[in-house]
């Protein structure tokens, strides 16, 4: 995907935007921003990534793989922009010193890395699930969603689908494996 971005492939740019905007929204919520502020954060981050500033390389194209994963690099851009926005507002006295849960905001929270990784994994899982839904059979998808998302017992699913219990387990396992493979592919992209 990043190589496609480097070659100005519009599909690669769109995939990049669709995948990483979810992380920006999650990070904005984590900092207690409302929807309008998160939209502003998304605009600032994507502008920083897509628009080449005079005299500076595009951050996406100047990313150095030897220094770590791209998602960590991107998350740092998002966090820096969020903190900048919050500090700007705090200087204008528009932002309280607490987030909506009443906890004092710590801009250098040591748990931030773990939260960013969790948010990224959820974004990948969402993207993978959307792709797998298009490829899976309706029966497999129904069995997976009923068992894993709705908590319906495999035995009940087998009765409802009029298939064996082994078939239900195989259908669920097939979706899980497809998700795993798609996530591995997306992480390498």
Average pLDDT, the chain: 79
Question: In the chain, where are the structural domains located?
Answer: 2-109
- Give the pLDDT confidence score for residue 45 in this predicted structure: 85
Q: Is the pLDDT of residue 107 over 70?
A: no
Average pLDDT over residues 124-135: 88
Is the pTM here over 0.75, yes or no?
no
> Nearest Cα to 123, choosing from 79, 71, 83, 78?
71
Instruction: Give the tens place of pLDDT for each residue, 68-100.
Output: 777 777 788 888 888 888 888 777 655 455 555
pLDDT of residue 134: 92
HSE, CB side, 13 Å, CA atoms: give it for residue 161: 25
- CATH class entry, domain 2-109: mainly alpha
Say which residue, 118 or 5, is predicted with more confidence.
118
**Cross-strand partners of 115:** none
């Amino acid at each position: 995907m990043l190589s496609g971005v480097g070659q100005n492939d519009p599909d690669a740019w769109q995939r990049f935007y669709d995948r990483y905007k979810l992380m920006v929204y999650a990070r904005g919520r984590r900092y207690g921003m409302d929807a309008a502020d998160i939209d502003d954060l998304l605009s600032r981050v994507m502008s920083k990534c897509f628009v080449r500033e005079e005299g500076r390389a595009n951050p996406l194209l100047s990313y150095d793989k030897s220094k770590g994963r791209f998602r960590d690099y991107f998350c740092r851009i998002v966090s820096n922009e969020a903190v900048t926005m919050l500090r700007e507002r705090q200087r204008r006295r528009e932002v309280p010193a607490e987030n909506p849960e009443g906890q004092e905001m710590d801009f250098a929270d040591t748990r931030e890395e773990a939260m960013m990784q969790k948010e990224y994994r959820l974004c990948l899982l969402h993207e993978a699930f959307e792709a797998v839904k298009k490829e899976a059979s309706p029966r497999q998808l129904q069995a997976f969603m009923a068992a894993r998302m709705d908590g319906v017992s495999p035995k009940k699913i087998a009765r409802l689908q009029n298939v064996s219990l082994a078939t239900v387990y195989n259908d669920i396992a097939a979706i899980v494996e497809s998700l795993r493979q798609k996530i591995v592919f997306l992480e390498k992209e």
